[in-house]
Amino acid sequence: MAKTIYVDNAATTPVSDSVLEAMMPYLKEVYGNPSSLYHVSEEPKAAIAKARDQVAKALNCEPREIFFTSCGTESDNWALKGYAVQMKKRDKTHIITTNIEHHAILHTAQFLESQGFDVTYLPVNEDGLVTAEQVRDAIRPETGLVSIMYANNEVGTIFPIPEIAEVCHEKEVILHTDAVQAVGHVPIDVKAQKIDMLSLSGHKIHAPKGIGALYVRKGIMPVNLLHGGGQERGRRGGTENTAFIVALGQAITDAVENMEKNTDHCRRLRDRLIEGLLAIPATRLNGARDPRLPGNVNVSFEGIEGESILLMLDAYGICASSGSACTSGSLDPSHVLLALGLPHAIAHGSLRLSVSENNTDEEVDYILEHVPAIIERLRNMSPVWDKENQRMIMEDDNLKK
């Protein structure tokens, strides 16, 4: 294979040089348990405090409002399960979320339903967005928690979190947001935006996999997910992963410091990709054009299967992701694309490219040089492609929006 073009940064990112350099000493020389009392523990303890300051500064909160976790999934589980236990004590049993959340939220919400909670899954519109009005209309006297993602991992839409927070604040309902895709890419200020809890993950912003954090506003007490030692002020047991915590501190600092520059760069590449791909006949963009994450491209090509596009792209060294079987062997198209109202047949032919500051114009040239020919080849083999009319043959034309 000639080269690797990695455009799947919404799935994970490579560790950056500055992050690796910052974390290295804590994998080797600085090995002390941060909770111990001898001198070997002072350095790791100080390093964790510094990382907590860095994360707090990036979100504009107090360091004591930041709790380190093992991943974004843990942060989401903790926020929902931990707060559900608290709100039930006040007879609040209703939770509001959306139907395009990450499975870390959706499956946790389903678990809570099995435990007697009532969950409303707000439907998104065809652009993949919900409004603050929808949230307002769904709030009931027994609503205790709203959990709505900041930005969607598949279609890149950015939700109106400050407006939603305003509604929650007014109705005295706690707002959690899964900001794993937004942190470092979109300006976030938890104070100004009135966010009560926020999940983030390191490996989406060039820290290693296996580190995350949960911001919990002072005064809110989700019960522990992990009971154990007194780490994280007694609220999350487990010996601290010093090296990865240091990595997260460095990664979020880098991301926030370079946000403007990186956003301009990613947006330009994204827009070139969108324009180039939409020039292919019978192709549509999934998710709102704006507001959209600077690095997200998600398109559907009628008449083909996402997996076959991925295999062909891989033969050219291009790593991307599709709207179908991305979820471990399942043949169902993504719940996100279906929620946007795409017919199954079209959702199946979807492709997500997510660029980062590491991608270049030359890589975009290369992708745009090869994808149109790949699509044409696949369509020529497709039993559902009408070559003459350059459209998909569908049994029910009403399905074709």
Enumerate the active-site residues: 326
3-state percent breakdown (helix, strand, coil) of the chain, nearest 5: 40, 15, 45
CA distance 278 to 312: 19
Give the one residue of 71, 243, 374, 392 binding ligand PLP; rule: CB under 6 A.
71
| Minimum distance, C-beta of residue 69 to ligand PLP, in the bound complex (Å) | 9
Binding status of residue 392 toward ligand PLP by CB under 6 A: no
Give the one residue of 104, 106, 266, 371 binding ligand PLP; rule: CB under 6 A.
104
CB 229 within 8 A of CB 49: no
Binding status of residue 336 toward ligand PLP by CB under 6 A: no
Consult the annotation and say whether 35 binds a ligand.
no
Burial of residue 190 (CB within 10 Å: 0-12, 13-18, 19+) is buried
Give the one residue of 54, 120, 157, 181 binding ligand PLP; rule: CB under 6 A.
181
Q: For ligand PLP, which is the closer residue by CB, 160 or 281?
A: 160
Binding status of residue 184 toward ligand PLP by CB under 6 A: no
In the complex, which residue's CB is closest to ligand PLP?
72
Consult the annotation and say whether 71 binds a ligand.
no
CB 220 within 8 A of CB 79: no
Continuous segment of H or E residues that includes residue 75: helix 72-77
Q: Which residues pair with 151 in a beta bridge?
A: 158
Consult the annotation and say whether 219 binds a ligand.
no
Binding status of residue 128 toward ligand PLP by CB under 6 A: no
H-assigned helices in 78-144: 83-88, 103-114, 132-138
Consult the annotation and say whether 73 binds a ligand.
yes
Consult the annotation and say whether 239 binds a ligand.
yes
Q: Which residue type sits at 191? A: K
| Minimum distance, C-beta of residue 101 to ligand PLP, in the bound complex (Å) | 8
Give the one residue of 54, 98, 108, 153 binding ligand PLP; rule: CB under 6 A.
153
CB 240 within 8 A of CB 23: no
CB 375 within 8 A of CB 313: no
| Minimum distance, C-beta of residue 327 to ligand PLP, in the bound complex (Å) | 12
- For the chain, how big is the Rg over CA atoms in Å? 22
| Minimum distance, C-beta of residue 200 to ligand PLP, in the bound complex (Å) | 9
Binding status of residue 241 toward ligand PLP by CB under 6 A: no
Q: For ligand PLP, which is the closer residue by CB, 30 or 80?
A: 80
Q: For ligand PLP, which is the closer residue by CB, 181 or 241?
A: 181
Consult the annotation and say whether 86 binds a ligand.
no
CA distance 241 to 9: 24
Other CB atoms within a 10 A radius of the CB of residue 282 amount to 20
- Point out which residues bind ligand PLP (CB under 6 A): 71-73, 76, 102, 104, 149, 153, 178, 180-181, 201, 203-204, 212
